[in-house]
Structures are given as C-alpha cells and as structure tokens.
Structure 1
Amino acid sequence: MGSWWNLEIGGQAAPVWGKSYVSDELMLLFNDGNFHVSAAKLSVLEDIESSGGEQDDLPESWYENLMCYSTTVGALRQRLQLQGFSTEWVRRLATAYFDEQDEEWQKPEKEILAWFPNGAAITAALTTRSGRKAGAGSPPDRRTHPKESFLHEKWGELREAFDDPRFALALSLSNARSTTEVRLDLTDLVMGGWLTASDNPHREARLRMAAAVGADGPVIVITEGVSDARHLQRSLELSAPEVAHVFTFLDFEFRPPGGTDRVVSLTKGMAAAGVMNRVVAVLDNDTAGRDAKAQLANLRLPLQIVAVCLPDVPYADNYPTLGPAGDGVENVNGRAVSMEFMFGDDMLRDKAGALVPVRWQGFIDRAADYQARFDSHHKSDINDRIDAALSPTARSPLPGQVAEGCARLAAMLIGAATPATRMPASEQSVLTAAWRRDPFADIQIDG
C-alpha cells in the first residue's frame, strides 16, 4: 500500500503526481514561504492518536492541507528557468520528441491525425487546461473520448522519456497565468505514515542534495600561494593517485594575491555563497596560519568547509633562527613551518649542508607570538629544489624524505576532506523520513 500526492494548478489536478514520496528535484522548487502545516488539524490528529481513536471518523474535507505547499505559476516558472527548465526549452523538447515518434502517433484514426498533424500541435494541446486534465487522472475511454485518451498517452510517454518531474511541471505551467495558484498537498503522505507533521520536505531535500554534492563532488582546495597548490597537487598524484582526481585547486593563472588573508577571504566567500562542495583551506603551520585558522573557526563554518594547518615535522623542533637578539635554535612548529618544510630537512640545507635559518618577523597580537620565515632568496632556492624532486622527469623512486612528505600532505588532505557519514537512501526509499534522518535515535550502539 502507498499514499498518493498530486500537484494542482488553479485547483485542477496536473499530470505531476506520485506515490509515497516526492522527489527531491521537485521539492527543490519550494521554500519556507510556500510551506504550511495546519496546527489545528495537527492537534486533532494528535488527540485521535493519544485517545486510540480512528482517523476514519474524520470528515472527508479534513484530508486536505494538513501539510502543503502553495505558490504561483510565475514564481515556479522563474525557479524552473534557473534550474534549466525554461518554458521555451521544454516545449522544444516535447515537440522534437513527438516529431521523432511520428510513425507511432500517426497510426491512430484519421480524426486524431487531423487534430494533431505534428509534434507542435500535440505539445500545444498538452499545455491547455483540458490537455493537463487529460494527463492527470485515469486513462479516458478511447471509444468515447479519443482526443483525451490520446493526450493521456502522450503525457505518459513524456514522463517516461523525460523522467525528471520538473520537465512535466514546466510543460504544464507553460500556458498558465502567472498569478494562478499552484498547490502541492502532502496530507495523504502524513496520514499514511510516509511523513510526519514535523518533517520539512523541502529543507530535507536541500540537505540531501548538499550531502550528495559535498560527498560526491570535487574537493576544492584553497592555499596561500601558487607553489603551495602545485606541491600539494603533485603530492597527491605521487602518494595517493587513486584519489588525486577528487581534489581541485583554485586557478592561479590570474595571479590573485597570496597569503593568509587571501585564504580567509576566499573561504568566507565560499561559505557565504553556500558552496556545497567540500572545501579545504590549507594554511601554513606558522603564527599567521594558526591565527587565520582561529579566525575561521570562530565563524562556525558549514561542516563541509574545513581549515587546516600544515602538520608538524620533527626536524622543526630544533631549528636555527635569526633575530634581533642574534642566532638561536628553537622549536618553530606552529611558528615558521611553511610548505618548504614538508619534504624533509635535506631540502632545507645550503650547499655546505647547514640548515637554512628562518628569520623572526613582526609580532602578531591575536596569536601573542612572533612570526618567522625564510628570507626570499632562500625560499626561492628551496622551492626550486622541491619542484625538481617532484618533477615527472625526476629520478625514481623518490628520495625517502620527499616520499614521506608527499604521504604526509596527502594524508592531511584526505583526512580533512573525509565527509561525515550519510544515510545511503534517497527520498524514494521505503524508509520513513524520520528513519532516514536519524536511524539510531532510539537505538543503543555498543562500541
């Protein structure tokens, strides 16, 4: 057994209907302002359930608008256009489809062919009020209502050929007045147990879409600069080639400004824009990077957006530094560890074999610490050595420390990009919406 729903245009059933669930594609067309749950009817239903009464005692008129969506034809047409279902496009598709099938639809009686000589005539008829009605209900009797029966069949063919429900909806709306009301009543699904009155179908559809895009779409990686992106990408290709294609790095061809401010700005922008892809913002493991990560953490970013600092490395525990007080040896993890540190201490040595020192810079108030970095010429030399080691033409196998660095960076990215668990069931599943949302709410799990 199942429960049925249908969509009405101006109070008339349209050829957009379904059983037991409403597809996410359709629900994405509605918003909070279109959603309505009748508190009065919900109270009656709760009283019946608590008293052990029977829902069958309710009057027939009660089984409407307990949960429903209502908007206008004009609003839906605009939303459909933004999702790729413009009126012109769906009409062209329908016409082209029928013209391609002309040998089939020209077989009926001559009167049918006279009414509908081509695909354009069929499409025009389907979008009239009587044409929509013909596709919404039970099949009309071919002997007494040949035209309606023919149109009913054509609607069925279209729904089968273009099975995204937004296609049938867009075609149904193409000739309707912009001010006409469109109503989607889900009361029967609530009464049948497929939804609860506390469910919010359009929001849950968006959450499922976000989870799917976040888990299945590419992972966007934001870095402080072009060399960081290049080294991270190459590290994935060398250490985790089976997943390297999942990650995409921002294009530096236009030479956007680098540094932590750039990472913070881009990450905030993606969160503000509602980007659904997983986003990993990679910051240096230095004072400025830690400060930038703290700034992003305070923003309470969406779960799919993660900020990470480069990992600690053991050879940074005792590293040479230069400062106003003279030379020293200090632990620079969290204070000066940039991408140049990631590929082993051999990369950090000068021609004499000595570690190239980092120089203390300005004090960062928010982090209450000083920042250190390589002098520019040292940084350039180290990056050249890393590029040479990671080059596709470099000797194989990789030097041990370089291979360890690639693995270290790949593990960091994969760990940051791993999404939260998700329920492997769509809105079409026989599972109830509540179970799909939180299957373990009432179950104690050991371990």
Structure 2
Amino acid sequence: MGHHSFLVVGEGQFLYTRDHYNEELAALFTESDRELVVADADDDSRDDDWDGKEITFGYYSTARALRQRLSMQGFTSHRALTELAEGVERWRKTYDDQSGLREQEARGEQVYQALARPPRGPAELLAAISETIGPHRPQTSFATGREYVSYLMELSETAADVEELRWFVEDRSLVRLLVDQAPDHMRVGLDVSGLTGCCVGLDTDQPIAGPTRERQLAALPDNAPLIVLTEGSTDSRVLTEAMHVTHPHLVDFVRIIDYTGTESKPQGSVGALANMVNAFIAAGVAHRFVAIADNDAGGHAAFAKLKKQKLPAGCRVLHYPDLPLLARYPTFEVASSAVTLTDVNGAAGSLEMYLGRDVLTIDGVLAPVHMGDFIGAVQRRQGALSPSHKVLVLKAFEKKVKAARSGQRDTGDWSGVHAIFEKIVHAFD
C-alpha cells in the first residue's frame, strides 16, 4: 500500500495513515509489543525493498489486551456502539444533503451491520440501543480465528466505507468495534513497515509506542481542567459558588473537587487533604492539581511536611492568601474578655474569613476570632470564629451569591474570594 501504516486485526487491514502513523493507535501499544524483522528480499519483491532488505516492522498484541487498554481510556463497547450509531446517522445526513450521492445512504447501514453485528435487525438496535448494550461486550464474538477471518473477508467489502467513517467516528471507537468481535488471542497490531522505505525512511531503531504514549499523557494536563482540592465539602461548595461570581470565565477550566457524600466527619479535614495530595502524587495523576488549605495554624502545620517535598511539576500546595482585613482583626485571646486588634493571617484564616467584610459584620461589628491552642510545629495559636458566627456568615454569603447571580449590582465585598482565585490562577507562574 505504498507509504502507509495501518491497523492489523487478524488477516484484516484497516485505518490507513499515509506517510506517518496514527499516534492515537500507536499509543495503544507498548515498547514490549515491538516487532522488527529484517530479511533478504525475494527478487520479485524489489519494489518494496529498502537496500535489498525486506522490513517487517510494527507493534503487535492481542485483541483481549487491546480491549482492556481501550477500556482504561474510556473506549468501552457501549461508547463505541453509541458513537457508531450517531456517526452513521451523521454520515447519512451528509449524503442526503449532496445531490447525486444518495445511493451512498445505504452504505452506512451496511457498515453498521458489519461492525456492530447486532443480534437483532439494525433498525431495532438503533431504536433500542440503550437496552441492548451492556457494560461488557454485548455482541456475539467469534469462537475461533477462522470464523473471524471469514467475518473480516465479509467486512473487507466495506473497508473503504470504514475509512470514510473516520470522519464521523473516533478511530479508537472503530478499533474497539473491530476487536470486540475477535477471539481473545487474535493478533492485533500497528504495521509501520511501509514507512521504512525510501522517501519516508522511518528509523527502525527509534521507539514509537512509548514516546507517543508519553506525548499523549503530557498533552492531557494542557487540555484538562485544573483540579482544585480543598479541605472539605463546605470549602468546595462555597468556592464553586464564588467562582461563578468573581471568575465566571474559569467555570469550564477549573474543577473544584466535590466531596458531597464522601466526608464522614469534618474534623481533621486538613490532614485528610494532605493525605489526598500524597495519594495523587503516588498514583501519578496526570492532571495538574492545586491543593489549597486554610491560612491558619492548623493548615500550615498539616502542609509543613508536604512543602519540604519535591512536588511533581503539575502539583501545587497553597494556602488562602494573606488579607489586609485580617492584619488588624478583632480577637479574643485565651482566657481574656478583652478584644484586641491582631494580625490573624496564618493563624485564623479559614474560608469564612474570606467571604467579605459585609458578611463578617454581625450586629454592626466584625465577628471576633477566638484564639485557641498553641501549635508548636508553626509556633502560633489556632484561631477561629465561634460555631454560631460561622453559621451566620455562611448563610449571609449564600444570600449574597444569589443576589449577585440574579444580576444585582453592589452586592458587597468580594475581595477575599477574588484573592483566593487569583492565587489559584497564578499557582504555576
């Protein structure tokens, strides 16, 4: 086929790529799947030779391995069949809109029948696809390689149409449809032999699958939303609401993790956040993520060890920023009834303290911070609002959010949460 690479499934060849290899397909393989055979060429095959040698070069595994790898990327049987049905419908409409090409309309149905192998008629399957598709391979697979070869010979009549379907269905979904029917040990691979000859000259010593997978993973953080980890469900909910007001342009670019239904109790949540960061690091999470904790003594103590570690490039651990409001804030010291103005940045900077001077003002005065236990790790006391004042502040903030999102102007002081999101935005600067 000249200077092409292509997918090999048993005896079938699909998904041709000219003068290069399909990187999404290459990334389905590993360097341990690499196969390179260099042999003397027969006289009648000189046209395909390179320096008198016949090169067989590619990456090969099994249908079972490819199914499992595709599942790990989210390309399940359910997804592939759904995309196929939608893609064939778009294909039909494309031809319907073009005069003189309406005879192509039936081809979409034939390809659907060949790829999906529905147990009932294709029209019925299209009408009840959600009923017939399960979490595993829903179609009847072939028990032997010989049966599958016969199927591929039948499918080869629509091979050109399969290529055209690539405009409407993602390649990996088409691969999934092809390997779903194959016996577990059927040989499946990416043949790049055609790229080793003159004009293309692919270096057979150069690895393909490994670096391609690395590039695929490296591109993920560039395209995926930034993940923000917080101390608990309240912080997550409040920050999500605030983002819609102060930074609505970031809503589709930031995902603040939702803890709803996962927290057993709120105590010790900053410690749980530190553990979660370590778990993300140990798991090698590819997404960029930010963990942001309270700007108080407990938060600084819990993150002290993390800050000493060499963190991955895609990870940042932060605290809510210092605020001018908190530099001289009404405070009750331990065992004292006198209110003093104290810098509580780094000592009592829980999220409630960032929700605005307006909501912190109760009965005409700022709700005071109560200083508590001394935390030796950071050499300062932990401070917080009283539980009753926290409830009032959060309720007032919820009303402020509703007012702002309903279009009201001058809804109060948003400087604190604005500063939090600015810190998140510039975390990787």
Coarse TM-score class (shorter-chain normalised): 0.5 to 0.7
CA distance, structure 1, for counterparts of residue 56 and residue 231 of structure 2? 56
Residue identity in the other structure for 1:60? K
In the superposition, the TM-score normalised over structure 1's length comes to 0.65
Query: 3-state DSSP class of the match of 1:340?
Result: helix
Q: 1:13 to 1:405 in 2, by over 3 A?
A: same
In the superposition, the TM-score normalised over structure 2's length comes to 0.67
1:294-309 equivalent positions in 2, closer than 5 A: 294-297=304-307, 300-309=310-319
1:4-83 equivalent positions in 2, closer than 5 A: 4-9=4-9, 12=11, 14-35=13-34, 58-61=51-54, 63-65=55-57, 68-80=58-70, 83=74
* CA contact 1:350–1:356 (8 Å) conserved in 2: no
1:346-357 equivalent positions in 2, closer than 5 A: 347-351=359-363, 353=365, 356-357=368-369
* CA contact 2:367–2:389 (8 Å) conserved in 1: no
Correspondent of 1:129 among 141, 145, 149: 149
CA distance, structure 2, for counterparts of residue 81 and residue 368 of structure 1? 50
CA distance, structure 1, for counterparts of residue 114 and residue 418 of structure 2? 63
Query: 3-state DSSP class of the match of 1:392?
Result: helix
Matched, 1:159 2:163: yes
Q: CA deviation at 1:376?
A: 1.9
Query: 3-state DSSP class of the match of 1:242?
Result: helix
What is the match of residue 222 of structure 1? 229
1:251-306 CA-partner distances (Å, limit 9, x unpaired): 35426133212322344444455554443322111122223334444565544443
Q: 1:118 to 1:352 in 2, by over 3 A?
A: closer
* CA contact 2:359–2:397 (8 Å) conserved in 1: yes
Q: CA deviation at 1:92?
A: 11
Residue identity in the other structure for 1:363? I
1:66-105 equivalent positions in 2, closer than 5 A: 68-80=58-70, 83-86=74-77, 104=103
* CA contact 2:29–2:209 (8 Å) conserved in 1: no
Query: 3-state DSSP class of the match of 1:372?
Result: strand
What is the match of residue 331 of structure 1? 343
CA distance, structure 2, for counterparts of residue 334 and residue 122 of structure 1? 62
Q: 1:274 to 1:374 in 2, by over 3 A?
A: same
Q: CA deviation at 1:403?
A: 3.0
* CA contact 2:357–2:366 (8 Å) conserved in 1: no
CA distance, structure 2, for counterparts of residue 237 and residue 70 of structure 1? 49
* CA contact 1:71–1:183 (8 Å) conserved in 2: yes
Structure 2 residue ranges without an equivalent (≥5): 39-48, 96-101, 118-141
Q: CA deviation at 1:75?
A: 1.7
Query: 3-state DSSP class of the match of 1:391?
Result: helix
What is the match of residue 44 of structure 2? none
Q: 1:92 to 1:199 in 2, by over 3 A?
A: closer
Q: CA deviation at 1:4?
A: 2.4
CA distance, structure 2, for counterparts of residue 20 and residue 200 of structure 1? 15
What is the match of residue 181 of structure 1? 187
* CA contact 2:75–2:176 (8 Å) conserved in 1: no
What is the match of residue 233 of structure 1? 240
CA distance, structure 2, for counterparts of residue 187 and residue 23 of structure 1? 14
Q: 1:194 to 1:404 in 2, by over 3 A?
A: farther
Matched, 1:363 2:375: yes
What is the match of residue 398 of structure 1? 411
1:271-310 equivalent positions in 2, closer than 5 A: 271-273=281-283, 275-297=285-307, 300-310=310-320
Residue identity in the other structure for 1:398? T
1:138-180 CA-partner distances (Å, limit 9, x unpaired): xxxxxxxxxxxxx44x111122124433344445445544334
Q: 1:122 to 1:291 in 2, by over 3 A?
A: closer
Q: 1:406 to 1:171 in 2, by over 3 A?
A: closer
CA distance, structure 2, for counterparts of residue 232 and residue 382 of structure 1? 14
Residue identity in the other structure for 1:353? V
Comparing 272-281 and 304-313, the one that deviates more: 272-281
What is the match of residue 139 of structure 2? none
Q: 1:273 to 1:364 in 2, by over 3 A?
A: same
Q: CA deviation at 1:196?
A: 7.9
Comparing 203-212 and 304-313, the one that deviates more: 203-212
Query: 3-state DSSP class of the match of 1:281?
Result: strand
* CA contact 1:229–1:249 (8 Å) conserved in 2: yes
Q: CA deviation at 1:312?
A: 0.6
Q: Percent identity?
A: 22
Residue identity in the other structure for 1:315? L
Structure 1 residue ranges without an equivalent (≥5): 42-55, 109-116, 136-150, 421-447
Residue identity in the other structure for 2:390? K
* CA contact 1:4–1:20 (8 Å) conserved in 2: yes
Q: CA deviation at 1:201?
A: 3.3
What is the match of residue 444 of structure 1? none
Correspondent of 2:392 among 377, 381, 394: 381
